Structure 1
């Protein structure tokens, strides 16, 4: 963890940590997952819809693979489906990294303010490592991936594990999420949560602050979120695809 002093805003203390989802929050890789799913299903002469693809956003990869088998007609084992999807997404990610607006800038500012950060993603380590390698060393003090927890999102386990690794109180952190599955996980762990819709709508919930984008956001705003003083801007509409 950083030994830098942790400044205090005029009104609120900075959060003990910021817990970042990856796909759809830091990087707009959801279209990569969609493309991988459709290609895999087509190769097995199955059928798959955009509604089905959207319903998997933020899900544990075992659940995604199970549904691709039972609903999409993919005649492979769960592990084979996961490996195939990850390979396709990693290949697309290496070709182009689609940062979400304001995400990288807020991550940089948060680290500069001395606030620890964790990556909390249902993608597996092989993909998370691709993102981590693009950032300055030490950007994330902890990384929790879908293959490192027994129960993935929407269970609270991934966020509770991140808080444990950082030795922080979940209630004094902030989580950043783009999916219903992800925000359900964070809120169940007791973490004040920001929802930034990407491909699915996010309904209002206690403890959730919805914003259209992270552009122009700073650590002082994160402090307000942690203190329950930030306004829900009602940004429930995802980006048009």
Structure 2
């Protein structure tokens, strides 16, 4: 399949020399694409976001309640930041807070950006077998582009950022956009996610889901398989999920 490269700033963006993969199977029974979340799924950064939020609000004279961590994890920045402003009564606008959080997060990942166990192996295997692979995140494009330097942009034929779609997770738009970018049927795509927000987006899009919980537990459900680590996930495993949809 030949992929087109949309202009920067559109809903999705093709990256580097990544291979878009082969055309969907004619019988509709094969795995057509793998769509991967970023924070907490491929890179161990969910804790980074919370640490930055705590530091920023401390500088504003507010202490965050640890119980709020589960409220803000995995969601779009507009929702998380908006919740924290309302909960604390901090005197800051949403755009101002968004800038501070993005800047603080970038400083963190410049110092250290650990991959989740099994992430590098999985990406290498998908690339080797020319499986259409997309990075789909609620993080903004500026953050995704920085993380891609570590993950290797060649591993992804397509990426979708939270600030490039009208509605980000938990809405299905990001995953529908990624599937459409490959000309794939969402039902024949496997999404790998770590939070309830991301899982909700993937399931609303009609995708098969592999949940790898990072902060809060997730339960198995129809079209949702829960694993403890990406070390349990390989191409054979992902392909086997398609047989469950037949």
TM-score range, shorter chain: 0.7 to 0.9
Normalization by structure 1: what TM-score?
0.87
Unaligned runs of 5+ in 1: 230-241
Where do 1:158-237 residues align within 5 Å? 158-228=174-244
Where do 1:5-154 residues align within 5 Å? 14-154=30-170
Unaligned runs of 5+ in 2: 4-18
Q: How far off is 1:133 after superposition?
A: 1.8
Deviations 1:174-218 (CA, angstroms, capped at 9, x unpaired): 000000000000000000000001111112322110000011532
Moved over 4 A (4+): 3-6
Greater helix fraction, Structure 1 or Structure 2:
2
Q: How many correspondences in the alignment?
A: 225
Q: How far off is 1:4 after superposition?
A: 6.2
Could you say what secondary structure the match of 2:164 adopts? coil
- CA RMSD between the two structures: 1.9
- Give the conservation status (yes or no) of the 8 Å contact 2:31–2:190: yes
Q: How far off is 1:134 after superposition?
A: 2.3
- Cα distance in 2 between the residues matched to 1:13 and 1:223: 10
Could you say what secondary structure the match of 2:134 adopts? strand
- Give the conservation status (yes or no) of the 8 Å contact 1:41–1:73: no
Deviations 1:45-70 (CA, angstroms, capped at 9, x unpaired): 22312221221111111111111110
Q: How far off is 1:39 after superposition?
A: 0.8
